[in-house]
Each structure stands twice: as structure tokens, then as C-alpha cells.
Amino acid sequence: MSKLYKLGVVGDPIEHSLSPFIHSRFSRETNINIEYLPFKVKQDDFAPFVSEFFKDSLSKGLNITLPHKKNASMLDGVISKEAKYINAVNTIVKDEKKIFLYSTDGVGFIDDIKNKGFMFEDNKILIIGAGGAAESILYTVAHNKPKEITLYNRTIEKAEKLCRKYSHISKTESVLDHNSPYDIVINSSSAGLTGEFRPIEELNISKSTIFYDLNYSLTETPFCKWAKGISNNVYDGIGMLVHQAAHSYNMWFGIFPDTNKVIQDIEDMRG
């Protein structure tokens, strides 16, 4: 076994995070000795917490989750081009002197989609929601040559703003297009967790449309339950969660762990 490295995930709430489980599996597989803890930290305490955490010479890195991703992008560190553009950081890496700030959500999402045998190139994409998660995937989807992207959100102004920001990279719209079926429908809205989930009516889809919910739980999410009434291609966000974690792990230790094994472990827990 190697020396001990201290890691963790910072959020609020954090009690139900699967990240400690995922990283303990990666640690076992790669034979790297880690202590990965969940830290419940309030908004105002975020920056002081990070600074205190990294005073320990054993501290190697952190994952950042709701509601701190934007705050983390304002920390004093070396930020990646992507994290700076989307104003969100979910991974901090520390070397002897500096901290480095990254977002692995977008690449985690793309990896999972590719792992499932799908791609974005020339496809018509619908993203529901226009919050932080929507932008992290919009960045990578827009860079993967889709035919067009519709960003559909309860508060249309937020969708319009994001569409303007990404219109130089890809064709983006904030109103539903009924002319041809969507190839991939992605739910990045937290409806169902915060407030009631209401399916979109009059959606142009085909039998082969893929439905992907960024949300996940050990039971079926409301979006997946609805989508399964329409299509056999329905997935929740567990795969993305495991892939973004694997990218963080790779940034800390230079080793990309086996994601399929951990996804299978979680599927087994769901029964």
C-alpha cells in the first residue's frame, strides 16, 4: 500500500453522496491508500474550509458538489479553460504549492454516453433545464458536432441566455422544435427532487430516441419512469457520476480506474 492521501467531497446536503463509495472502490482496485470523506459545509464557510483542508500535507484533492461549484471556480488557483468558461469546478487537485481547478462533469457525461454506444455528432439534442449541470453538459455536447441543441427550461430567460453564450459553437434554440424527432433527450432539471416533475407535452420523438436523466437514485427517478413508458433506451445519471469520479481520480493519481465494475456494484445495490 502507498502512503495515505486525504480526499473528500464538499457539499450541502452531502449525507446521501455516493462519491465516498465510488472512490473507495477505485482505491481498492488501484491499491492506493486514500481517506475520502463527505464534508457538509455551508456556503459562507466554503473558501475557509478549502484553505484549512489543504494545510494538511496529506491532503491531495477535493470533489465539489451543490451548492459550491460556482464558488469553487472563484478560488485562488489555476483553473482549466472549460471550468473557467462554465464558471463551475467539481475537482480540486493540490500539488506542493498550488491548487488546480477542473470540471469533470461534462467529460464524465460524454464518456458515459459513448460507453452506452451513442454519440452526438449530427444528432438533434434536447436538454431540459438550464442550471449548472445543464451548462456543464452543454459545453461538451456543443463541442461534439450535434446537428442542433434545444435548451428547454421552466424559466425561459435562463435558457435564452445559455443559448446566446453557446451559439458560436453550435446551433442552439430555447423553444421546442417539432419538425423532426429528437435523437437524445437529456434531463438536467431537478424537477421531481425539487417540486413536481411534469412531462413535456407534444414532444417530437421516435422509437429510437434516447432518454438520459442526469439525476439518479437507488429507486427509479420520475423522469426515467415517464420515459420508460415511451422508449427502451432510458438511462439515469449513475454512469455519469462514476465517470466524472474516475476523471477526478485520474487527475489526482494519474490512473484511470475501471468504471464498469463500480457501475455494476451500484446496479447490484439497486437490485
Residues 216-235 that bind ligand NDP (CB under 6 A): 216
Beta partners for residue 79, in sequence order: 101
Among 84, 195, 208, 260, binds ligand NDP (CB under 6 A): 195
The grid cell for 179 is: 419538425
Nearer to ligand NDP, 144 or 147 (CB): 144
Give the range of 1-9, 49-57, 171-179, 211-219 binding ligand NDP by CB under 6 A: 211-219
132: contact with ligand NDP by CB under 6 A: yes
Size of the site for ligand NDP (CB under 6 A): 27
What is the rounded distance in angstroms from the CA atom of residue 12 to the CA atom of residue 23? 19
154: contact with ligand NDP by CB under 6 A: yes
Binding-site residues from annotation = 17-19, 65, 90, 105, 129-133, 153-158, 214, 216, 237, 244
194: contact with ligand NDP by CB under 6 A: yes
Among 87, 144, 190, 231, binds ligand NDP (CB under 6 A): 190
Q: How many CB atoms lie within 10 A of CB 31?
A: 9
214: contact with ligand NDP by CB under 6 A: yes
101: contact with ligand NDP by CB under 6 A: no
Residues with a known catalytic role: 69
**256 alpha carbon, distance to own chain's centre:** 17
Binding-site residues from annotation for shikimate = 17-19, 65, 90, 105, 216, 244
| CA atoms in the 13 A half-sphere facing the CB of 249 | 29
In angstroms, the Cα distances linking 226 to 9, 65, 143, 161, 234 are: 31, 27, 29, 28, 10
206: contact with ligand NDP by CB under 6 A: no
Give the range of 20-28, 30-38, 77-85, 183-191 binding ligand NDP by CB under 6 A: 183-191
Among 18, 34, 83, 130, binds ligand NDP (CB under 6 A): 130
Among 91, 103, 209, 244, binds ligand NDP (CB under 6 A): 244
Among 155, 180, 206, 260, binds ligand NDP (CB under 6 A): 155
**What values do phi and psi take at 41, rounded to 5?**
-135, 130
What is the rounded distance in angstroms from the CA atom of residue 131 to the CA atom of residue 59? 30
Cβ contacts of 206 within 8 Å, gap of 6 or more: 181
Give least dist CB 154 to ligand NDP, A: 3
**What values do phi and psi take at 20, rounded to 5?**
-60, -40
Residues 3-62 that bind ligand NDP (CB under 6 A): none
In angstroms, the Cα distances linking 17 to 12, 37, 89 are: 10, 10, 17
What is the rounded distance in angstroms from the CA atom of residue 77 to the CA atom of residue 11? 19
User: Residue 211, by phi and psi: left (phi above 0), alpha (psi -120 to 50) or beta?
Assistant: beta
- Point out which residues bind ligand NDP (CB under 6 A): 66, 105, 129-134, 153-155, 158, 188-191, 193-196, 214-216, 237, 240-241, 244
